[in-house]
Structure 1
Amino acid sequence: MTLHEPARFFANLLVPTSDPVGLRGRLAEHLGRHARCETTETGEVLLSSELGLSRLTLEAGGLRIAAESGDPTGLAYIKMIMADHVLELGEAGLALHWTGAGASGSPLPFFRAMTVTGVATVGRFRRLTLRGDDLGRFAEGGLHVRLLLPGEGVRQRWPVTGDDGRPFWPDGNPPPARVYTLRRLDVAAGEVEIDMLLHASHHDAPGAAFAERARPGDVVGMTGPGGGDLPEATDYLLFADETGLPAVVRMLAEMPAGRRVRAFVEIEDEDDRQALPSVAAAEVTWLYRRDGARLETAAASIGAGDLPPGTVVWGGMEHAARRAVFRRAVDVWGLPRDRLRLASYWRRGQAGTDHHHDD
């Protein structure tokens, strides 16, 4: 019997810089906040995460970055992240060119063209059903995707891999992009469901504007997945407003039996309630904003002694509410940051462009 090693994918980048030591240090400092960082006996800096591994090595003419991953998507993300940070932290005017897997002009492995096959109205959401090919990778690595939303009547040309590893738009005209949660994913059917919140003014919200006009046959771009991971625990405490509700739906649907969950969901009124099926022991409290109920108040009603040891707290909500829940979790409940997954999905008074993950 022959044993086969799992496939690995490799790429290399030589960054031409007059200060390779300084650039390597800045990359290690910034990327080390989200990846494991170590220095070998030979002086290599290793950065590793669930995406794969990067080796930062000094050599004549600059800094060598050797990236490897167990799948093309992980490698593509490493290349993109490295390029973004090198261009931010390195010298001005750098031209980057990766060699190896994922050649310039090739399809982005984390991109899919998705066709709208169904549209429904659920409370203040428009629920879009999208169909595409080869969605297995979207079942791991996070709950969220980024939708690329072409304008009405626009025939969009989609991005490919650029020389620097980042998405390259052939027509130089990327459409607006917004992050959403995969409320439901059926890999076998090649189908996802996404709930898109409708806003009072669609003109300032490309996502809501697209959701309002979407019809079967429309095509959108989808990249991902990312974000939304939950540490293993027996007990979970969840906080969400409408923007975080699709993530709560997905997490509860996938939560195994034997887990205990308390969820607080702030919505406008009764019309925005949704079914939240789960085999876990789930207790959901709906907070109606029209009656003055708020996530901040719900969090303030929970004392340190009310949480079982090892509880994980997750949240997806407005910025100020997120800050209040975070302060309560740290100052009163005494939870370490590695047990917190709290994010501000939007900020009152500002037209946001993306999720902003804080913890």
Structure 2
Amino acid sequence: MDQLSAQALISDEATRSAMDRLRAEHGEFEIETGVADRWELRLHYGSLSATLEGDAMLVRVAATDETCLSYMKMTVAGHVAEHLGTTKGIHWQGDGSDAGTPVFFREITVMSSTRISAHMQRLRFAGKDLGRFTHGGLHMRLLLPPPGRRLVWPTMGADGLIVWPSGDDALAVRVYTIRAVDAASGWLDVDFVLHPGQETPAATFAQNAQAGDVIGMIGPGGGDAPMAQTLLLLGDDTALPAIGRILEHLPPSTRAEALIEVDGPDDRIALAQGDNIDITWLYRHGREAGTAGLLPAALRERSHMALADGLYVWAGCEFGDFREIRKIVRKQWSLSRDRHLVTAYWRRDAQGENGGGED
């Protein structure tokens, strides 16, 4: 597959030291080059190499398409900004655009809104050029503009970082799962967990959405559906959209069991069925989400599965459950990193982004 690439020549000593720290922090992804003055990392979205040229460092990123190339530029610039507070030494040359609308941005318009369970609202959005959102990650970021103002969307800076609208034009940004997407017909579905009485921008938007409302999205990201002989899925309400999508695209040769925590029977939604799929619903019965501990408890009851052929454990849930589940699969079940993905989709009492369907 053809590779796109871009490079930046960095002569600032501080920026070079930040790149060396990036190398050290991602040591497990380093590829042996056999060259003393050159190192290379193979990351999720592409590759990154750095070569010493006299007093300067030539940083090169490569990826299979413009979206992944842009993500790689952001990886470099974001790391430098995190360590130095500035990216003044980074000016990219080569493939990809350095300014204007991000290649991974789309403006989307509400087509319809449907309540699919007691606490879940499904919005269907119309959008153009959605093909890139059918692969390369289950998730994307929704960009929610302030009500009553003209739409101001992000742009790209010459350093490869997103330049966000600020002040009265600042956007609320939340991570959600693409529940379903039909690029040929130009629509995608997003499921939102509702939170009555709470200040949650995305859920509030979903509850009040009308056909014609316009928001933005950037993506995709967050990893694709796992491929395995035996798949164990765990999640709460926020992971339901991802679990639903994973089960819909499950190969017949894969056996999957899903453990799903919701408040009660009214929160169940229809999921894919088959002889190779088992679904267990776990009910909180009014206990606060993230406090019941039902998912770790159910996982411990399935310790016999640790020995299953080709097992992969996938989980998305509140931070406390995330820590317990990760401890079980890593320490008690001794699953290697390539046989599990456990993610904190949200955190109790914390504002900000999440991984799948809850503010």
TM-score, normalized by length of structure 1?
A: 0.89
Deviation at 1:331, TM superposition (A): 3.0
Which is worse superposed, 67-76 or 15-24?
15-24
Residue 40 of structure 1 is aligned with which of 1, 16, 34?
Answer: 34
Residue 81 of structure 1 is aligned with which of 67, 75, 99?
Answer: 75
Name the counterpart of 1:184.
180
Deviation at 1:122, TM superposition (A): 1.8
* 8 Å contact kept, 1:157–1:171: no
Name the counterpart of 1:103.
97
Deviation at 1:307, TM superposition (A): 4.5
3-state SS of the aligned residue for 2:299? helix
Which is worse superposed, 217-226 or 35-44?
35-44
Name the counterpart of 2:278.
283
Deviation at 1:278, TM superposition (A): 4.3
* Amino acid aligned to 1:352: G
Deviation at 1:157, TM superposition (A): 1.6
Which is worse superposed, 297-306 or 239-248?
297-306
* CA–CA separation in structure 2 for the residues paired with 1:178 and 1:153: 20
Name the counterpart of 2:248.
253
Deviation at 1:140, TM superposition (A): 1.4
* CA–CA separation in structure 2 for the residues paired with 1:62 and 1:279: 58
1:297-338 residue CA offsets vs partner (Å, 9 max, x unmatched): 211211236641221000011111112222222233232222
The verdict on how the C-alpha distance between 1:150 and 1:324 changes in structure 2, with shifts beyond 3 A counting, is same
What does 1:128-277 align with in structure 2 at a 5 Å threshold?
A: 128-169=123-164, 173-203=169-199, 205-277=200-272
What does 1:46-85 align with in structure 2 at a 5 Å threshold?
A: 46-85=40-79
The verdict on how the C-alpha distance between 1:306 and 1:91 changes in structure 2, with shifts beyond 3 A counting, is closer
1:222-279 residue CA offsets vs partner (Å, 9 max, x unmatched): 1111114344311011111000010000000011112101110000111110111145
Which is worse superposed, 248-257 or 151-160?
151-160
* CA–CA separation in structure 2 for the residues paired with 1:73 and 1:318: 29
* 8 Å contact kept, 1:13–1:99: yes
1:20-41 residue CA offsets vs partner (Å, 9 max, x unmatched): 66333212122445x4443432
Task: Name the % identity.
Answer: 37
What does 1:285-300 align with in structure 2 at a 5 Å threshold?
A: 285-290=280-285, 294-300=294-300
Answering whether residue 87 of structure 2 is matched by residue 116 of structure 1, we say no
**Which of 1 and 2 has higher RCO (CA within 8 Å, sep 6+)?**
2
Unpaired stretches in structure 1, ≥5 consecutive residues: 1-5
* CA–CA separation in structure 2 for the residues paired with 1:130 and 1:74: 24
* Amino acid aligned to 1:268: D
* 8 Å contact kept, 2:135–2:224: no
1:25-81 residue CA offsets vs partner (Å, 9 max, x unmatched): 212122445x44434325211122352222211224532212222211111111111
Answering whether residue 17 of structure 2 is matched by residue 22 of structure 1, we say yes
Name the counterpart of 1:336.
336
* Amino acid aligned to 2:327: R
The structure 1 segments of at least 4 consecutive aligned residues displaced by more than 4 Å after TM superposition are 90-93
Alignment RMSD = 2.3
The verdict on how the C-alpha distance between 1:305 and 1:76 changes in structure 2, with shifts beyond 3 A counting, is closer
Unpaired stretches in structure 2, ≥5 consecutive residues: none
* CA–CA separation in structure 1 for the residues paired with 2:195 and 2:62: 42
3-state SS of the aligned residue for 2:124? strand
* CA–CA separation in structure 2 for the residues paired with 1:84 and 1:67: 14
The verdict on how the C-alpha distance between 1:101 and 1:128 changes in structure 2, with shifts beyond 3 A counting, is same
* Amino acid aligned to 2:184: A
3-state SS of the aligned residue for 2:189? strand
3-state SS of the aligned residue for 1:290? coil
* CA–CA separation in structure 2 for the residues paired with 1:23 and 1:40: 22
3-state SS of the aligned residue for 1:297? helix
* 8 Å contact kept, 2:88–2:159: no
* 8 Å contact kept, 2:15–2:80: no
* 8 Å contact kept, 1:258–1:280: no
3-state SS of the aligned residue for 1:341? strand
* CA–CA separation in structure 2 for the residues paired with 1:235 and 1:93: 45
* CA–CA separation in structure 1 for the residues paired with 2:187 and 2:86: 43
* CA–CA separation in structure 2 for the residues paired with 1:36 and 1:54: 9
* CA–CA separation in structure 2 for the residues paired with 1:245 and 1:71: 30
The verdict on how the C-alpha distance between 1:296 and 1:7 changes in structure 2, with shifts beyond 3 A counting, is closer
